[in-house]
């Protein structure tokens, strides 16, 4: 990936960066749209709760949840 | 191997998240953490309000519901009340025909209950009321520089200080009247040696009411109070009247003079030590202890300040 002829840690780092922010690694072509692999069973849903209360100056932790059963 | 990407978009004017790869504000959720085998990668661009999450695993998971990632959002201290949306999005489906759906979240921001959060170092905060009925909070021991927080007193219901570890101090200045909102001030001082200082203008009345557990209690001023925990020395000055109200049925009270012109009340109530109170420049100091059980000072100093007992609890 980094053209040094071997698969090393730098390749892994570049790949991780590409997966999160595609423009950060133009050396790597974009993958086709859509998730890779698949879940088994139900269609996945990902959600965050609504109306989480927080005061100015504080911080709140909001979970990204799977309200339907994920199975792989 | 299976993997998927999910994004969250948020309003940068109302929320903050630590930027970069592997943001410190994002952790793997309990569902994937407990299942094991999952790897999570994160990227946050706080300038644009984008969170990118990537998950992959080579280990089968039997199934389950719950959190796959936890995101800590910081609410700026001078933000305004309102609801801010959290746009959860990603690909619409997989090559195997599964349909992916996403449900947005939201955070309801409450500007009437500001929270000042300190560090694990030594934090000092100074709170006062201005001549224009504003509440101002400064980082430091006086009203110098730019306040870190200000608001109309009538627009807030409480103020909380969570100062964490370190030798912290909170100074409450009553010179222009009480800065306490209707629901008061909460001061959670954490570990180490933390102090609470009350400075009046000679006309305010206050009641020091230590709690049953050491370091906790209330300082009542007018119809409101400062609720504190983890506070060791407490001091008050410039009050017209100061009442000390012990919480228990059996007290051992010591009255001493730590230095000229200053008095100190310390001791135990029902066997639990309460935070000593140092006072000076007060018109009167009243000691309100349970009847029949109070004991005289065991180690009086040569010239303790004059203390009298009130005829009734204020």
Residue of A nearest to B23 (CA): A20
Match 């999570």 to its residue by tokens: B40
| Farthest CA pair distance, chain A | 53
pLDDT over 80 at A43, yes or no:
no
Give the residue ranges of DSSP H helices in B92-201. none
DSSP string, A1-70: --SSSS--HHHHHHHHHHHH-GGG-TTSPPPPSS-BS--SSSPPEEE--S-EEEETT-EEEEEEEEEEEE
Task: Give the H/E segment covering residue B27.
Answer: strand B26-28
Helix, strand, coil percentages (3-state) for chain B, rounded to 5, are: 5, 50, 45
CA–CA min distance A24, chain B (Å): 11
Residue of B nearest to A49 (CA): B105
CA–CA min distance A22, chain B (Å): 10
- Helices then strands, counting H and E runs in chain B, come out as 1, 24
CA–CA min distance A16, chain B (Å): 7
Q: Per-residue confidence at B304, pLDDT binned at 50, 70, 90?
A: very low
Which residue, B208, B117, B241, B220, is CA-closest to B178? B220
CA B165 to CA B229: how far, in whole Å? 13
Residue B251: CA count within 13 A, CB half-sphere: 26
Q: What is the pLDDT of residue B65?
A: 87
Q: How do the domains of chain B map onto residue ranges?
A: 2-76+84-109, 115-288
Which residue, B74, B22, B147, is CA-closest to A17? B22
Q: Which of B12-26, B233-247, B258-272, B285-299 has the lowest mean pLDDT?
A: B285-299
B21 contact residues in A (CB cutoff 8 A): 16-17, 20
**Residue B2: φ, ψ to 5°:** -130, 145
B185 touches B223 (CB < 8 A) = no
CA B262 to CA B233: how far, in whole Å? 14
Q: Does the domain formed by B2-76+84-109 have CATH 3.40.50.300?
A: no
**B148-182 residue pLDDT tens:** 999 999 999 999 999 999 999 999 999 999 999 99
B160 and A70 in contact by Cβ < 8 A? no
Looking at the complex, does the CB of residue A31 fall below 8 Å from at least one CB of chain B? no
User: Mean pLDDT, to the nearest integer, of B18-35?
Assistant: 94
**B268-303 residue pLDDT tens:** 999 889 999 999 999 999 998 776 545 555 544 444
B199 touches B174 (CB < 8 A) = yes
Q: Between A34, A39, A43, which is nearest B101 by CB?
A: A43
Under DSSP, the state recorded for B292 is T
Cα-to-chain-centroid distance, residue B62: 42
User: Mean pLDDT, to the nearest integer, of A35-64?
Assistant: 84
């Amino acid at each position: 990936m980094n053209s040094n002829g071997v698969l090393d840690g730098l390749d892994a780092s570049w790949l991780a960066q590409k997966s999160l922010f595609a423009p950060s690694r133009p050396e790597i072509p974009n993958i086709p749209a859509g998730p890779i692999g698949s879940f088994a069973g139900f269609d996945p849903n990902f959600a965050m709760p609504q109306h989480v209360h927080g005061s100015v100056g504080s911080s709140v932790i909001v979970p990204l949840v799977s309200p339907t059963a994920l199975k792989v | 191997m299976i993997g998927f990407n999910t994004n969250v978009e948020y309003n940068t004017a109302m929320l903050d998240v630590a930027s970069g790869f592997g943001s410190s504000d994002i952790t793997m959720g309990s569902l994937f953490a407990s299942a094991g085998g999952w790897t999570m990668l994160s990227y946050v661009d706080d300038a644009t309000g984008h969170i990118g999450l990537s998950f992959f695993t080579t280990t089968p998971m039997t199934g389950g519901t719950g959190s796959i990632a936890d995101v800590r959002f910081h609410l700026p201290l001078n933000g305004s009340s309102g609801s801010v949306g959290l746009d959860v999005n990603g690909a619409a489906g997989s090559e195997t025909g599964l349909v992916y759906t996403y449900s947005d979240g939201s955070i309801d921001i409450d500007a009437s209950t500001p929270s000042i959060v300190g560090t694990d170092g030594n934090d000092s905060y100074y709170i006062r009321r201005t001549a224009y009925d504003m509440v101002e909070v400064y980082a430091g021991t006086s009203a110098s520089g730019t306040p870190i927080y200000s608001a109309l007193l009538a627009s807030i219901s409480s103020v909380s200080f969570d100062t964490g570890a370190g030798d912290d101090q909170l100074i409450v200045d009553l010179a222009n009247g009480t800065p306490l909102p209707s629901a008061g001030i909460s001061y959670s001082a954490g570990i180490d040696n933390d102090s609470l200082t009350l400075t009046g203008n000679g006309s305010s009345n206050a009641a020091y009411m230590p709690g049953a557990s050491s370091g906790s209690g209330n300082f009542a001023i007018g119809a409101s109070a400062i609720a504190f925990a983890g506070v060791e020395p407490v001091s008050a000055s410039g009050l017209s009247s100061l009442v000390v109200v012990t919480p228990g049925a059996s007290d051992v009270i010591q009255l001493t003079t730590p230095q000229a012109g200053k008095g100190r009340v310390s001791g135990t109530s029902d066997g639990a030590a309460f935070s000593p109170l140092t006072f000076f420049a007060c018109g009167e100091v009243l000691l309100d202890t349970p009847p029949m059980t109070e004991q005289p000072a065991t180690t009086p100093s040569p010239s303790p300040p004059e203390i009298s007992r009130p005829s009734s609890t204020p």
